Chain A
Amino acid sequence: MMKKVMHVIRYIFIHLIFIIISFLILYPLAFAIGGAFNQGKSLASMNILPIPNNPTTENFTRLFTKTNYLNWYKNSFIIASLNTIFTTIIVMITAYIFSRFKFKLKKPALMSFLILQMFPSAIGMVAIYVILNSMGLLDTLIGLVLVYTAGNIPYNTWLLKGYYDSISKNIDEAAKVDGAGSLTTFIRIILPNTLPMIAFLGVTSFTGPWMDFILPRFVLRSDKNKTLAVGLFEMINGRSNDNFTQFAAGALLISIPFVILFVVNQKYLVKIMSSGAIKE
């Protein structure tokens, strides 16, 4: 009897903790959503509870008419898309070669990849500035994409190479006996077998650049080339009290697609994250 009571108390306790944590997670988000529909512009004009008195969409209207928000959105979208395309193609090929070919300098190359992936590209930002400047790519979206793609190569190559390694080499040897060249084997056999991992790679290289701040701040100088992260930062930095509701509206429009993406795919995410990262 005593044991059963303890048992019940324990589960009530855990559920209570869950509810408290849920509140701590939902409140900040709800507060921002409330802010997006708030009538006044300032933080002081908001209720403590995230329910605005007279809900309005004027923050969104102002965002589209008074700021360059749509332009920032477009720039971030272009950068993310190009980064996805470049990264996926380059990493797919690089990882395949590292997984299936024997050549000189393979080991040192893989070792340096592993060390390189530990350093954020921000460390070399002055040099990146000078390099892009000398190539005439400063203040262009494509320049930034090149830097992102290069930075993505080391880590993702390791990730995908590990996945390729897990596919039996007998299959491609059989294909080779049937007269398929390296390229055909890659397209017909390796690629279909690794699609889930490549999709994951595509998604991460798409979501990565959206909120990156240091590099776009350094590389993209003109207003027309600004990304969302830099635009929103300038909107709120130092003026959080005045511009919060407008910021919240802008933030809401970015977060919705991300939240849908993650929530819908959470089961898949759990699987791929642990399969890619676990080292046995």
Chain B
Amino acid sequence: MRKKASLSAPIASALFMGLGQIVVLKQYVKGFLFSIFEIFVLSNSSKIFNKIMGLITLGEPKPDLPVAERDNSTFMMLEGLIIVVIAIIIAIIYIYNIVDARNTGKDYEKKGVVQSEREFIHNIGEKAFAYLGLSPSFIMLAFFVVIPLVFSFLIAFTNYSAPEHIPQKNTVDWVGLQTFRDMINLKQYSQGFIRTAVWTFEWAFIGTLTCYFGGMFLALALLDKNIKIPGFFRTIFILPYAVPGMISLFIWAILLNGQFGPITRSLRELGVIEWLQNIGVLQRDVIPWLSDTTLAKIMLIVVNLWLGFPYFMLMITGIMTSMRQDIYEAARIDGASRSQQFRFITFPLLMYQTIPLMIMSFAYNMNNFGGVYFLTNGNPPDSLTTQSFAGTTDTLITWMYKLTLEQRLYNKASVVAIVMFIVIAPFALYNFSKTKSFKDGEL
């Protein structure tokens, strides 16, 4: 019976997990573990089937039952999703069981012996450290990062939104691409969408560049030997990084208050506002720092620079101090001027080392919720805002937040999230290809 083990063992194991290992190969411990696993799966099969059906139907509307007893579509969707993940794991173990039977069978045909039970247990012990150690982080990632991302992705294909389709009062249904179609066809949405996406891009791009070059300028200037008390200035320049960002943003929102803010009041005292009124730039005795779209956008960038330059300043200071000094000496001997040294040595070296950081920072700025929400709240609104809820300074993430928390239009918020995903993914991949371990091919 054991002669054609490489054929009979996998077939037996395909019929029932572990059968090939027990009957053909006499690996009792391993085969027993596989069989128990299959028995466990089979005994729960009706449950698994029900949950997957739940994911497909998302529940039936049962208007005559009390609200608490009706089908809860979002729960069903979530449970279904978890079960699908588990089903994939089961399938992988099932396939592994067959592959293992075939490999051991081949081994047996060649050598005439199979791996002993003791060896098997020893091997498991070796590998267990890695898998056991990783399991907490993988389980947490699965539940709180991966499944939520997939879930948000799926919501875009349902009608999960207020006021008609909020569980548990009503059920949610799959609607295919209807939400996408709605958002394209409703002019308010499609225009609001384009405007928001373009501004998000501008905001992230300009925000990153201003902070980068601002930080670079200060870092280089501070390293100059002729600067008095550089430590004192550096300490001051770090402050915006040290004070929690949300607090700084609120302080700025106060400073930029159009009527009572100290900046407006100072300008009023100096007669600047009166002068601006006289030449017709301002209509009233207030400056619309955050209530005029263009001015608000400029202020967002300025405040973002205030908050963000210290990060790059610290980073570039660190890189500069660890740079080899002998290149500069060689350059000086060759008669290179200071500006030449900067143009041909410092700047290229810095750029080379910091481009991944800039990309990271760009992605961070695209997702920077507080930088917009706490300062302008996405305001001022315009004609597109009434239906799409996107203010003129809203970025994708603040818009998504508003659609989710304030309007409960989860399906539309989800479409926005998918777009964010598509926009961010190339940057993630680019950064990945730049990492050391990827280049070395070792990981």
Give me the interface of A with B, judged by CB distance under 8 Å. Answer: 11, 14-15, 17-18, 21-22, 24-26, 28-29, 31-32, 35, 42-44, 46, 48, 90-91, 93-94, 96-97, 101, 103, 106-107, 109-111, 114-128, 130-131, 134, 146-147, 149-151, 153-154, 157-158, 162, 165, 182-183, 207, 210-211, 213-214, 217-218, 229, 232-233, 236-237, 240-241, 244, 247-248, 251, 254-255, 258-259, 261-263, 266, 269-271, 273-275, 277-280
Contact = CB atoms under 8 A, between A and B. Distances in A.
Given A28-B251, A263-B238, A122 B369 contact: yes
B315 A274 contact: yes
Given A14-B224, A270-B318, A273-B318, A29 B129 contact: no
Contacts of B437: 110, 162, 165
B151 interface: yes
Query: DSSP majority for the A interface?
Result: helix
Contacts of B116: none
Interface size class of B (residues with CB under 8 A): 35 or more
16 contacts: A28-B248, A32-B254, A43-B257, A101-B129, A103-B131, A114-B435, A119-B424, A124-B152, A126-B404, A127-B148, A131-B147, A147-B144, A240-B257, A255-B243, A277-B356, A279-B353
Contacts of B69: none
Nearest to A254: B244
Given A93-B133, A273-B314, A151 B145 contact: yes
B421 A119 contact: yes
Interface stretch (B37-45, B57-65, B134-142, B188-196): B134-142
Given A18-B227, A97-B134, A270-B318, 9 more contacts: A127-B78, A147-B144, A211-B370, A213-B374, A232-B247, A241-B260, A255-B247, A266-B238, A279-B353
A26 to B, nearest CB: 7
Interface stretch (B26-34, B105-113, B200-208, B425-433): B425-433
B322 interface: yes
Q: Which 7 residue pairs spanning A and B have beta carbons closest together?
A: A124-B148, A274-B318, A127-B151, A262-B242, A150-B144, A127-B148, A150-B140
B443 A110 contact: yes
B148 A128 contact: yes
A18 B233 contact: yes
A269 B260 contact: no
Contacts of A280: 353, 436
B410 interface: yes
Interface of B: 74-75, 78-79, 127, 129-131, 133-134, 136-138, 140-141, 143-149, 151-152, 155, 218, 221, 224, 226-228, 233-248, 250-255, 257, 260-262, 265-266, 269, 306, 314-315, 317-319, 321-322, 353, 356-357, 363, 367, 369-370, 373-374, 377, 397, 400-401, 404-405, 410, 413-414, 417, 420-421, 424-425, 427-429, 431-432, 434-437, 443
